Structure 1
Amino acid sequence: MVVTIGNNLNRIAHNLWVGGNPPPHLQHIWDRVLQSLDGIDAATASIIGR
């Protein structure tokens, strides 16, 4: 499972690097990554009191 996640993220990163968008069949994964990062940002801001 971890290898699959890494492979998908690598494909997304490659497509972002060369074309600006993840491949359509991986868009939902990219959306989840962005949601996760938003959650991390919110939690961090809460912890440091911003």
Structure 2
Amino acid sequence: MKKGFFKVLAKVNKVILPSFTKQKLDITKASKMQLAIIAFRAYVTKQSLD
């Protein structure tokens, strides 16, 4: 159940949240909000793969 939820959430993230790698964002110059989005996307991805 948990894994399925995170798989759906990962698909929603892909559609809604911006991809900073496509924008060639420099992590050292990212704002706090951008870092929070990156961390959230990484957490959801990790949970959907486990």
Specify the TM-score bucket, using the shorter chain as the normaliser. Answer: 0.3 to 0.5
Higher relative contact order (CA 8 A, sep 6+): 2
TM-score (norm 2): 0.47
Question: Scaled by the length of structure 1, what TM-score is found?
Answer: 0.47
When Rg is computed on C-alpha atoms for both structures, the one with the higher figure is 1
